[in-house]
Amino acid sequence: MTQGYLRGRRIALCVGGGIAAYKACDLTRELQRAGATVRIAMTPAAQQFVTALTLQSLSHHPVFTDPFDPNQDSNFGHLHLPRWADAFIIAPATADLIARIRAGMGNDAVTTALLAWKGPVLLAPAMNTAMWENPVTRDNVNALLADPRFRIVGPDSGPLADGDVGAGRLADLPKIVAAAEALATAGPLTGKRVLITAGPTREHLDPVRFISNPSSGKMGLALADAARARGAAVTVVLGPTAEKVPDGLDVVRVTSADEMYAAVMQRLGAAEVFLACAAVSDFKPETRAEQKVKKDAAPDSVKLVRTPDILAEASAKLAGRALVIGFAAESENVIANARKKLEAKQLDFIVANDTRAFEADSNAVTVLARDGRSVELKGDKRDLASQIWETVAPR
Ligand code: C5P
């Protein structure tokens, strides 16, 4: 049974050099199916059994194989992987690889990346029974498991590739995926009530005509899903969008800025984090016709009035008792304008991006903090959502 921990999670899969390395291909797929993004590092021995190209194709990311390749190391190398990942899985963990990890060596792509990693590690050993039962291997495994960061799954008993029967088979893939799910560690969002606005609003002139914008709601939904994956109870007040809503969210659908305002204000009391990602229409027609306006009755001009600033008002109400994050979509002077908004609306953080990102699947943003610090992030919107929470949630 998957618990959903892997949804939106970033898994560094480290492949050791044993015959079970071929199963890393299917494991990659299973982890992806559970919702994880998988990046792979391989030992030189692993590459004797399965090629980096195979795993690159399956993971959709370059594979880290050589810390001495300047191109790899500067782009996705031994420090990038630990900075990127939520968890490491070593599969198959061979006797040799376990020994080198235990000794703190850094003589290949896998061990150098692991040396810089401080989070959870799941070992999935696979080797011949005699190697598994060797007292040196036992000692190495026990020493690693004495550190609570390390967990183990398998090895299973049964027929081995070399004809022996005994302990040493790589655990069945669903068991590895389940063990990866169980790596969930409590983080700053665990158990928190998070309220998010997402999507556009529609300000109707009549039943069929409205003012709106091309916001897809993708970014807000990705943020909602990533918060949920981190253990938060998430409510999304969502404007009109055809985007698929991820499971496990409490969704309140609204159409206009006024409706969004009312829905947010009603739910503000319980919120510990408020994130305004919606592209709220700043103006609405002063009046709305009950019936469709006939062509020949069309007015020469339409009087517009301001809609309520949901974020500004929520921020004033939440001051000091919740984390408040806004978005700023700008078509020029992105950073300067965003900083102004952060100050005007008294936010903890503002995520600045270009209006061209509205409908795209990926985005590049700058997260500005109240204390003047800033960080640039980019990636597809799911990836970016995780990065944004990791930037703002520790506060
Ligand atoms: O001032 P501006 O509309 O550019 O600020 C953008 C931020 O304010 C976004 O976080 C948006 O969700 C929020 N906002 C709001 N209500 C409005 C206008 C914007 O919550 N009426």
pLDDT tens across 277-305, in order? 999 999 999 999 999 999 998 889 999 99
Q: Cβ < 6 Å from ligand 1: which residues?
A: 197, 257, 276-278, 280, 282, 307-311, 326-328, 341
Residue with CA at minimum distance from ligand 1 atom 4: 328
Compute the distance from residue 77 Cα to the ligand 1 centre, in Å. Answer: 38
Tell me the CA distances in angstroms from 316 to 9, 329, 348, one per residue in order: 33, 21, 12
268 token code pair: 């503000």
Residue ranges of the domains in the chain?
10-184, 193-392
Question: Which DSSP symbol is given to 372?
Answer: S
107, 128, 213, 337: the active-site residue: 213
> Hey, do 10-184 and 193-392 end up sharing a CATH topology, with the first three levels equal?
yes
Q: Which of 257, 207, 261, 214 has the alpha carbon at shortest distance from 360?
A: 214
Contact 202, 240 (CB under 8 A): yes
Element holding 314 (H helix, E strand) = helix 310-318
Q: What's the confidence (pLDDT) of residue 382?
A: 79
Q: What's the confidence (pLDDT) of residue 5?
A: 67
Handedness of CA 281, 285, 286, 288 (dihedral sign): negative
Q: Can you state the percent helix, strand and coil of the chain, rounding each to 5?
A: 35, 25, 40
Residue to substitute in 202, 311, 350, 388 for testing ligand 1 pocket (most ligand atoms within 8 angstroms of CB): 311
Compute the distance from residue 146 Cα to the ligand 1 centre, in Å. Answer: 50
Residue with CA at minimum distance from ligand 1 atom 8: 311
Peptide bond into 155 cis (omega under 30): yes
Compute the distance from residue 309 Cα to the ligand 1 centre, in Å. Answer: 6
Compute the distance from residue 280 Cα to the ligand 1 centre, in Å. Answer: 6
Contact 65, 21 (CB under 8 A): no
Q: Which of 260, 262, 222, 217 has the alpha carbon at shortest distance from 242?
A: 217
Beta bridge pairs of residue 90: 14, 123
Compute the distance from residue 278 Cα to the ligand 1 centre, in Å. Answer: 7
Domain 10-184 sits in which CATH superfamily?
A: Flavin prenyltransferase-like (3.40.50.1950)
Contact 281, 213 (CB under 8 A): yes
pLDDT above 90: percentage of residues in the chain = 72
Q: Which of 330, 338, 380 has the alpha carbon at shortest distance from 355?
A: 330
User: Is 213 assigned a catalytic role?
Assistant: yes
Give CA angle at 130 (129, 133), nearest 5°. 85
pTM for this predicted structure? 0.62
pLDDT tens across 110-167, in order? 999 999 998 889 999 999 999 999 999 999 999 999 887 898 999 999 888 888 888 8
Q: How many helices and strands (H and E) does the chain possess?
A: 14, 19
Pairing between β-strand 203-204 and β-strand 210-211 as defined by DSSP bridges = antiparallel
What is the position in ligand 1's atom list of the atom closest to the CA of 197? 12
Exposure of 227 in the CB half-sphere (CA atoms within 13 A): 29
Residue to substitute in 195, 310, 353, 354 for testing ligand 1 pocket (most ligand atoms within 8 angstroms of CB): 310
Q: Which amino acid is at 279?
A: A
Q: Does domain 193-392 have CATH number 3.30.460.10?
A: no
First-to-last alpha carbon distance for the chain, in angstroms, is 33
Low-confidence ranges of the chain (pLDDT < 70): 1-5, 184-186, 357-358
Which residues have a Cβ under 8 Å from the Cβ of 79 and sit 6 or more positions away?
116
